[in-house]
Chain A
Amino acid sequence: MTASRSAAPPIGRAGRWLRGLAGLAGVVAISQLLGVAGVVPRQFLPTAADVLTRAVRLAGDPEFLANVAATVRAWAIGVALAVAVGVPLGLLLGSIPAVGLAVRPVLEFLRPIPSVALIPLVSLILGAGLATEVTLVAFASVWPVLFNTVYGLQGVDPVPRETLRVFGFGPLAVLGRVSLPAAAPFIATGIRLAAAIGLILAVGTEILAGFGDGLGVVIAQAQQAPDGTTDVLAGMVWAGGLGLVVNALLAGGERRLFHWHVDQAGNGR
């Protein structure tokens, strides 16, 4: 917080990459030192290098990859369902104020239910398996899609809307030509948030189920194994990696599609 530091020039892109890599290398080195010096017993907490090596080795294990694929499939179907329900519902609530006002209290009660609390209930009703996982992912991830759609519609410029109306376009045409394109960047952000929440539910449901297929199942079973700490942590690395990759893909898609949007500069996180 000294004068010289705040006056320093901003760090460039290459510098940021180098420093990020240096930070990662530093953490791996410190954890290795702690492990080798015996400060932290390795059976208790494996070193970062051990965990990363195991995570990389898992990429060559077809059985593990099949489990990851099962998680990704349930996640994708659930988020797709959430989009299929959330966007039309959001358009309905956002473009007809009376409906929005009337339904809002119901939604405001449903939304704060912590979605993992539904895992036991949905498991009882639908049994363990893909249907349960997809339902839970969809329930949890519908909210950001729905609310971002409504929010996006609120900011639509009324002038083009009224202009189109004056020229005799019906409400559906106005929705398709003005409101939906204007709300699209917000909807896209909602989908990115939904993907993050969907992964929480997909992995969480699998961990609690403890059997079947999925990354969460692998983690839960490693947790039971006598020497499974490395595997549990390697599974966590994979889960975090999945989250990062999908987030980066969606954020990149948003930047490419909506580079014209004013919010994009501050919204690309």
Chain B
Amino acid sequence: MIAALVRRWAVPVIVVAAWELATRRAADVFFPPPSRIVARMHDLWFSGPVAHLWLTSDAIGNVLPSLGRMAAGLAGALVAGVVLGLALGRSGRLRAYLDPLLQFGRAVPPPTLVPVFVVLMHLGPPMQIVSIAVSALWPILLNTADGASSVDPIQIATARVFRLSATDRLVRIIVPSALPKIFAGLRLSLSLALILMVFSELLPGTADGIGFELTDAQSRSDLPTVWSAVVLLGVLGYLLNTLLLALDRRVLRTYRAALGGADR
């Protein structure tokens, strides 16, 4: 147990210690030592009153709006992606008609969508949420379609024999067997949503958000704050991914049990 813990954390600790020593010795403004970055992160975001869970007003004014917009965009992408994906997955004909458009939609690098929505909707949270949603849509959509099209035909036939209604077939067979693919798509979408959350806030003219803090600090050449924002985003990305993995395991276990060992 302890040996495993040491093995897991020895190298990260050594790396951070070496980074600290090297940056202190170099005293380069561009590379502040990690201890200074952590201190800045604490000052900026986590030194608030206990009543606010130690969050500062800066954290409440910038970090929370960012996360809220990302959640809204991702939720929109999830709903639209699953609904459209199920329709596409169950109809080979629809898939054939829309395939070139879907391939193109997926190939467009998401940052180019942001200027499109800036022109169409002007700057502001709605534009940011739509940018996040449209970028995060594709992995969920295509994975759901893939999962829904590869349902075991015997299960569908069995359901017909037992005269399950179309809704029952959808809820009891198609969605559960597409679920592993939907979750795989959701994890890809999460990392895209995080990228777009930051990107949509980096554009000049935004009012708040972690990305706004980043550009603001960049324009003041405040490097410790720039580094702090990067580290915070790394931690957020790690936590969100871990959360999704845990959810993934939990939900899939339930559904696998419900499917009675048909673990596909």
Identify the A interface with B (CB < 8 A): 1, 3, 5-6, 8, 10-11, 15-16, 19-24, 26-27, 44-45, 101-103, 105-106, 108-110, 112-121, 123-125, 196, 199-200, 202-204, 207-208, 216, 219-220, 222-223, 228-229, 232-233, 235-236, 239-241, 243-244, 247
Q: Are B230 and A112 in contact (CB under 8 A)?
A: no
Query: Is B103 part of the binding interface, using a Cβ–Cβ cutoff of 8 Å?
Result: yes
Q: Are A123 and B11 in contact (CB under 8 A)?
A: no
| A208 vs B111: C-alpha distance when bound (angstroms) | 10
Q: Are B111 and A113 in contact (CB under 8 A)?
A: no
Given A19-B96, A24-B101, A204–B199 Cβ distance below 8 Å? Answer: yes
Closest Cβ–Cβ distance, residue A34 to chain B (whole Å): 14
Interface residues as binary, B231-262 with A (CB distance below 8 Å gives 1, 0 otherwise): 00110111011000000000000000000000
| Choice from A120, A203, A207, A236 contacting B215 with Cβ under 8 Å | A120
Q: Are A113 and B202 in contact (CB under 8 A)?
A: no
Q: Kindly list 19 other residue pairs between chains A and B, CB separation below 8 angstroms, not including A120-B202, A240-B107.
A: A1-B169, A8-B93, A21-B100, A23-B99, A44-B120, A105-B8, A105-B11, A105-B12, A117-B210, A200-B195, A202-B109, A204-B199, A207-B112, A219-B112, A219-B115, A223-B119, A241-B104, A243-B108, A244-B104
Query: Is B15 part of the binding interface, using a Cβ–Cβ cutoff of 8 Å?
Result: yes
Given A115-B195, A117-B214, A207-B115, A244–B234 Cβ distance below 8 Å? Answer: no
Q: Are B100 and A112 in contact (CB under 8 A)?
A: no
Q: How many residues of B contact A (CB 8 A)?
A: 66
Which residues, 148 to 168 on B, are CB-close (under 8 Å) to A?
A: 153, 156, 160, 166
* Complex A-B: 23 CB contacts under 8 Å: A1-B166, A8-B93, A20-B96, A20-B100, A23-B97, A24-B100, A44-B120, A45-B120, A103-B11, A108-B238, A109-B234, A112-B238, A116-B202, A117-B233, A118-B230, A124-B221, A203-B111, A204-B199, A222-B115, A235-B115, A236-B113, A239-B109, A240-B104
The 6 tightest CB contacts between A and B, nearest first, are: A112-B237, A243-B107, A204-B111, A23-B97, A240-B108, A113-B234
Query: Is B91 part of the binding interface, using a Cβ–Cβ cutoff of 8 Å?
Result: yes
Q: Are B7 and A20 in contact (CB under 8 A)?
A: no
Given A216-B111, A240-B104, A244-B104, A116–B12 Cβ distance below 8 Å? Answer: no
Among B100, B104, B215, chain A packs the most CB atoms within 10 A around the CB of B100
Q: Are A114 and B108 in contact (CB under 8 A)?
A: no
Chain B binding surface SS class: helix
Query: Is B23 part of the binding interface, using a Cβ–Cβ cutoff of 8 Å?
Result: no
Q: Hey, which chain B residues are within 8 Å of A101, CB to CB?
A: 7-8
| A232 vs B119: C-alpha distance when bound (angstroms) | 8
| Choice from B93, B120, B166 contacting A19 with Cβ under 8 Å | B93
Q: Hey, which chain A residues are within 8 Å of B119, CB to CB?
A: 223, 228-229, 232
Closest Cβ–Cβ distance, residue A199 to chain B (whole Å): 5
Residue of A nearest to B202 (CB): A208
| A220 vs B107: C-alpha distance when bound (angstroms) | 19
Residue of A nearest to B105 (CB): A240
| A236 vs B210: C-alpha distance when bound (angstroms) | 26
Q: Are A109 and B101 in contact (CB under 8 A)?
A: no
Which residues, 74 to 126 on B, are CB-close (under 8 Å) to A?
A: 90-93, 96-101, 103-105, 107-116, 118-120
| Choice from A3, A19, A44 contacting B97 with Cβ under 8 Å | A19
Q: Hey, which chain B residues are within 8 Å of A124, CB to CB?
A: 30, 218, 221, 223, 226
